[in-house]
Amino acid sequence: MKTTFREPQAQSPKAHGKKILLALAGAGLLLGALNASATPEQDRQSLLKFYSSKYPDIKVANYIYGALAFDPDAMEQYNSIMDFPPFGSVIEHGKKMWETPFKNGKKYADCFPNGGKNVAGNYPYFDDKAGKVVTFEMAINACRTANGEEAFKYNDMQTMGTLTAYARTLSDGMPMNIKVQGAAATAAYEAGKSQFYSRRGQLNFSCASCHVANAGNHLRSELLSPAVGQATHWPVFRGGEQLVTLQERYVGCNKQVRAVPFAPGSEEYNNLEYFHSYISNGLPLKASVFRK
């Protein structure tokens, strides 16, 4: 029988945080559930096993739909909206940005293999020479600066958000294909994993509080999505209008638990995205979709 995870309306943050932690303990899944010495692939398989055991009727392939996988009515609404998405003009604008030449005559497509098609699923990757994780947005900015243009701000939805709303659709259907190879890459992955499982904020939540321990349960009126599959469909249009990138969603989640967020493009969020994307390996990308 599915349980419901609801936030009380008239409690102090401290009291509320304690109650949620008790609920997590009762569920038998404390944060940090993944073995600290596990390989990335063991982490991914452990999460898949957990979700499959908890929700045996939901196919792994449907995790790309997030919370919609738990709600047939919401899934039907999603399909109806995606037939004629109200945000089509934003994607068209992003396409125009992608195809408009830089001052030197080159285009974004010149910076990526296959003109930028079927590449987004390889991001983030660990750049051994630079010694850091590189996201798709960072690669776009590297393209811009290499061609004499100014870098976009990672939290600017009018520029980076709109551009990636189109650019990522060029990789729709590509399986997520994140590699973690070598000691430095593993260290970055582990840092991202730590971000995912670390409690923070006045409510003492982690990403895992909602998206592992309580995936499929309700928080107030909203169903909580599983972590596996989450990284496959960004950016999204929440409510059909509000454009949100993955790292902007990290910011929003941190604020919701009353924690001070990191900046989009920070090392902390880049490492988190590295871990978050790896656990969705093998699932197909589908960018610029509707979400509630």
Q: What are the pLDDT digits (tens) for 75-110?
A: 999 999 999 999 999 999 999 999 999 999 999 999
| Annotated binding-site residue? 207 | yes
The string of pLDDT tens digits covering residues 172-226 is: 999 999 999 999 999 999 999 999 999 999 999 999 999 999 999 998 888 999 9
| Annotated binding-site residue? 111 | yes
Residue 95 vs residue 11, higher pLDDT: 95
What percentage of the chain carries pLDDT values higher than 90?
85
- Which of 231, 283, 288, 271 shows the shortest CA–CA distance to 134? 271
Active site residues: 253
| Annotated binding-site residue? 249 | yes
pLDDT (0 to 100) of residue 35: 66
Cis before 13 (ω within 30): no
- Pull the structure tokens for residue 101: 């030449």
Which segments of 62-206 does DSSP mark as H helices, in order? 72-83, 88-99, 136-146, 162-167, 183-197
Domains of the chain: 11-22+37-292 (1.10.760.10)
Mean pLDDT of the chain: 90
Q: Indicate yes or no: pTM above 0.85.
A: yes
Q: Give the three-class secondary structure for 272.
A: helix
- DSSP letter assigned to residue 175: B
23-27, 160-164, 186-190: least confident range: 23-27
Q: Phi-psi bin for 240: left (phi > 0), alpha (psi -120 to 50), beta?
A: left
| Annotated binding-site residue? 218 | no
| Annotated binding-site residue? 211 | yes
